[in-house]
């Protein structure tokens, strides 16, 4: 199965926050891992790109461990 990253970037006074959701389907259903980072971007497009990079980094570092309860 594969993991999917969804950017949920949010606007704050300092810029766009790096926010996202990583989801993966398991036999018992879809599990999600939400993340928020302190990194901000000046544009929404930059925030989305940064969120995707951060999600890939989390996936590479943690793999399925991020879905443990």
**pLDDT tens digit sequence for 17-58:** 888 899 999 999 999 999 998 888 999 889 889 999 999 999
Report d(CA 39, CA 5) in Å as an integer: 17
pTM of the shown model: 0.79
**pLDDT tens digit sequence for 3-21:** 666 666 677 777 888 888 9
C-alpha dist (Å) from residue 16 to 45, 46, 52, 55: 9, 8, 14, 16
Backbone angles phi, psi at 47, to 5 degrees: -65, -40
How are the residues of the chain apportioned to helix, strand and coil, as percentages rounded to the nearest 5? Answer: 35, 50, 15
Q: Are 18 and 9 in contact, with CB atoms under 8 Å apart? A: yes
């Amino acid at each position: 199965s594969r993991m999917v990253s969804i950017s949920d970037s949010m606007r704050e006074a300092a810029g766009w926050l790096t926010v996202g959701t990583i989801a993966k389907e398991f036999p018992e259903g879809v599990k999600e891992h939400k993340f928020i980072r302190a990194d901000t971007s000046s544009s929404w497009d930059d925030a989305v790109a940064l969120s995707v990079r951060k999600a890939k980094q989390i996936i590479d570092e943690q793999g399925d461990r991020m879905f443990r309860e």
